[in-house]
Amino acid sequence: MKSKKMVTGLIMACIFAVVIFAGKNSVKVQAADGDVAIVTDGNGDEIGSYAALADAFAAAQNGYTICIISDIYDPSATIGYNDSERNKHIIMDLNNKSVTLLSMNFDYSLYVKNGTLNCGITNASVGFTNAMLTLSNVKFITDSINWMTKDGICLNNGSNVTLNGSQCWFEKLEMDTDCVFTVQNSNGLSNFGNIADGFDGVKEFVPEGLSVEGTTIIDDETGAKATDFILRYRSLSDDADVAVSIDPKTYVYDGKEKKPAVTVSYGGKTLTEGKSYSCVYADNTDAGTATVTIKGENAMHGQIVEEFTIDKAKQKVPTGLVATAETVDGKNDGQISNLKTSMEYSVDKRKWLDCESTVLKKLADGNYYVRYKETKNYYASPAAKVVVKKGNVPATNEPTTNEPTTNEPSTEKPTSSEQTTEKVTTERQTTENPTTEEITTEEQTTEVQPSDEKTDVASTEGTTAVVSKTESGAPNTGDDGNVALMLIVMMTCLLGAAGVVVYRRVK
């Protein structure tokens, strides 16, 4: 029984020891009502909770963190080190709270983060190193900055400083590209001049018109000390601050480069081309979409691309076109000349064919439409109407090279409704025993045929031949009629000679 009690006692002792040990490493300070800050050491252990910020600073040692747990508004309070509390690196976590004081005084580094701080701030340790004022994700509003250490001031993680008062002195200023330092005072920024690169860290943040002279002064365009300006990393991609206009936005093609005027403003202030930006144009001659690339210069960064339009030009209606009619109706040998290969033609204004040479040949009579073709830079022109006229219809009674004729061809041209009658009669001859021989061609009638057909008639003794053929297109020469006439004359002579012989024999 005694041994059992001893074992139980040992177990309880172990449990108690574990609780004690764990409690020592996990106990949190319970802030009392009205406390404004908790102090933690370098390991994150809470040291105490304080109702006055001055008490928290006094309790904080080198490398400790003062965490604000309640908004503080005490515009007459000054926070600083006692003589026995010097050489401390302090971290001040605003913990998304707001602290308003008269001033804060330090002799070593101060790291402030995550919140709003409104007060003057001083560090008079001239020449000290490892004593930087760092603001991280802080909105800092102040009327006085005097930070005399060589490390100067560093802004990062989106910090925003507004200087409203008349004093701002430091040895060095550095800023991340997402930070802003607004100067709204009559004295601008001042550098003690103990180091050569005091403003080198903000040269890329200086607005157009201001310059860093000798790394210690930020001057305006007149050479005087600049006042009322904003140090920030300016980029043309800052959509909320950048406004760009292009004039004009639309051109009509004329074969020349187009370079519209570009106006860029940042934060409402118009920038100067050649100082804050330059323009590079592309695809700005032919019709289509052209671009201008606006590139930041000096303290203006980034680039943007804007577009403008070059429309196609109009073309005038073709002139000087010459139409040649068909030689014979239906032969389809009409022409249109004085064309260009940049033209096209149509018979219905719907389907267009290219003009492949300066002359269109083998055209039927009718209406043709000719225009300049649409190209990359030109719209199609209005169409010119060109009329190819019908060819002539040849008279059907005019002899052709293949048409026989009678002894007495008519001298008048018959029409399509007229008829022609030709009659050839030989002279009568007698002998002692008179006999009569009469040779008469039969009466012939030719009707002029319409269009392409004509009827030719050839007559011999006691016979009639009718030949119908299609026009060859060659004019009649009359040779066939002459041959027929000669044959009749020869036959007449032979008959006459035969009559003489018979007469002599009878006699």
Instruction: Give the pLDDT of residue 215.
Output: 59
Q: In this model, does residue 213 exceed pLDDT 90?
A: no
Backbone angles phi and psi of 409, in degrees to 5: -65, 145
Q: In this model, does residue 128 exceed pLDDT 90?
A: no
Per-residue pLDDT band at 160 (split at 50, 70, 90): very high
Per mean pLDDT, which of 152-166, 244-258, 435-449 is the most reliable?
244-258
Average pLDDT, stretch 478-485?
53
Q: Where are the alpha helices (DSSP H) in 34-93?
A: 53-59
Instruction: Give the pLDDT of residue 30.
Output: 55
Contacts of 437-444 with C-beta under 8 Å, sequence gap 24+, read: 437/495, 437/499, 439/491, 439/492, 439/495, 441/406, 441/407, 444/406
DSSP readout, 280-323?
A: EEES-SSSEEEEEEEEE-TTEE-EEEEEEEEEPBP-PPP---EE
Cβ pair 96, 141 in contact under 8 A: no
The more confidently predicted of residues 331 and 82 is: 331
Omega prior to 248 cis, within 30 of 0: yes
Q: Which amino acid makes up residue 151?
A: D
Instruction: Identify the CA nearest to 120 among candidates 75, 156, 153.
Output: 75
Window from 193-202, 251-260, 286-295 with minimum mean pLDDT: 193-202
Q: What is the pTM of this model?
A: 0.63
Instruction: Give the pLDDT of residue 162.
Output: 95
Instruction: Give the pLDDT of residue 485.
Output: 62
Per-residue pLDDT band at 393 (split at 50, 70, 90): confident
Q: What separation in angstroms does the CA of 169 have from each of 81, 174, 182, 267, 420?
A: 21, 14, 14, 27, 129
C-alpha span between 333 and 327 (Å, rounded): 7
C-alpha span between 76 and 82 (Å, rounded): 18
Per-residue pLDDT band at 82 (split at 50, 70, 90): low
The more confidently predicted of residues 98 and 87 is: 98
Instruction: Give the pLDDT of residue 169.
Output: 85
Q: In this model, does residue 20 exceed pLDDT 90?
A: no
- In the chain, % of residues over pLDDT 90: 53
Instruction: Identify the CA nearest to 179 among candidates 153, 148, 200, 198.
Output: 153
Cβ pair 115, 88 in contact under 8 A: no
Instruction: Identify the CA nearest to 404 among candidates 489, 474, 483.
Output: 483
Instruction: Give the pLDDT of residue 306.
Output: 97
Per-residue pLDDT band at 450 (split at 50, 70, 90): very low
Q: In this model, does residue 425 exceed pLDDT 60?
A: no
Instruction: Give the pLDDT of residue 225.
Output: 83
Cβ pair 421, 409 in contact under 8 A: no
